[in-house]
Homo-oligomer: A and B are copies of this chain.
Amino acid sequence: MLDDRKLAVLRAIVEDYVSTNEPVGSKALAERHNLKVSPATVRNDMAALEDEGYITQPHTSAGRVPTDKGYRLFVDRLSQVKPLSGAERRAIETFLAGAVDLDDVVTRTVRLLAQLTRQVAVVQYPTLTRSTVRHVELVPLSDRRVMLVLITNTGRVEQRAVELPEVVEDARIAHLRAVLNACLDGCGLSSVPELVADLPERLPAEDRPAVATILSVLLETLVERHDEKIVFAGAANLAGADFTIGLRDVLEALEEQVVLMRLLGETSSDTPSALTVRIGSENPYLRGTSVVATGYGSGDNQLARLGVLGPTRMDYPVTMGAVRAVARYVSQILAAS
């Protein structure tokens, strides 16, 4: 049904449309790409492609525009991810290497990705779930308040002030800190709940209320924060782009953590580093936009996801190349620290 030439025509249509942002006609197509056939032949092929739903025309007498289905075929079979240039690679490397802490890594990553792709970049903070405890710190703030600080092996620091039900001496706090660290150091975050389950019983009865309070805050911190934090950059790139939906909707979605999470999607467990591409209506949460995303993290230790969001009409090969490259570099950086 779709011979090689028809596929070539589709590819040419996608490429031309992406670069010019105008419906592409048979004549221009036959000229710009040397297809070695006449415009009339191209027209026939286009008619076939339209029948199959890969392209469409905005109005009766205009050129053709790819449909979501057309982009899908293009991404799956007609294009290959375009690697970055050497200069770009070096720029990424030096830019990311300058990061001083986890916050900085994430901030730099998201800006970098936005700049490279000229789209909106989205980066999820490394999830706590797969991390391990590096250190738990309890800092007395006043008689009845302590600051709970949780440091993970990915360099992430979570902090929460805890209001104690009664006055607790500093020495007891210090003891509890020692117990907690002995118990949790190096353990996966997901195993924390069971590890602390019997902790109150192993301590003097008088400490139990305070301990219970602290532990409940600790557990809250684990579950509530474990994958909520997510940032974006490059909103300015939306100004030029034209979406089928309103710009307002896109901006609103960007400020909703929950929506952003869904947009990035979930890392498939079997091929964690694969690129996910959602095109237009394939994307149930924000129609009319495309999302290119991937997991990051080194090897078996997948940390979270990152990607970019843009109009359906985007340069998929380049975008995919940038997303993949950035994911690799940031994985390296995080593995090293």
Contact = CB atoms under 8 A, between A and B. Distances in A.
B233 A100 contact: no
Nearest to A217: B100
A147 B154 CA distance: 12
A157 B157 contact: yes
A234 B247 contact: no
A236 interface: yes
A2 to B, nearest CB: 40
Interface in A206-259: 233-236, 238-240, 246-248, 251-252, 254-255
Contact of A251 (B141, B147, B239, B255): B239
Interface stretch (A78-86, A131-139, A294-302): A131-139
A333 interface: no
A74 B124 CA distance: 45
Given A157-B157, A160-B101, A233-B255, A139 B139 contact: no
B246 A239 contact: yes
* Interface range for A: 20 to 34
A155 B233 CA distance: 27
A56 B247 CA distance: 31
A269 to B, nearest CB: 30
Contacts of A155: 147, 159, 161
Residue with the highest number of chain B CB atoms closer than 10 Å, among A100, A141, A233, A248 = A100
Contacts of A275: none
A176 interface: no
B238 A161 contact: no
Interface in A274-317: none
A151 B147 contact: yes
Contact of A248 (B141, B159, B239, B252): B239
B100 A161 contact: yes
20 contacts: A100-B160, A100-B161, A101-B159, A101-B160, A134-B139, A134-B147, A135-B139, A137-B137, A139-B151, A147-B151, A147-B155, A157-B159, A235-B235, A235-B251, A235-B255, A236-B248, A236-B255, A238-B251, A239-B251, A240-B248
Shortest 7 CB-CB contacts between residues of A and residues of B: A239-B248, A236-B251, A236-B252, A135-B139, A157-B159, A239-B247, A235-B251
Interface of A: 100-101, 111, 134-135, 137, 139, 141, 147, 149, 151, 155, 157, 159-161, 233-236, 238-240, 246-248, 251-252, 254-255, 337
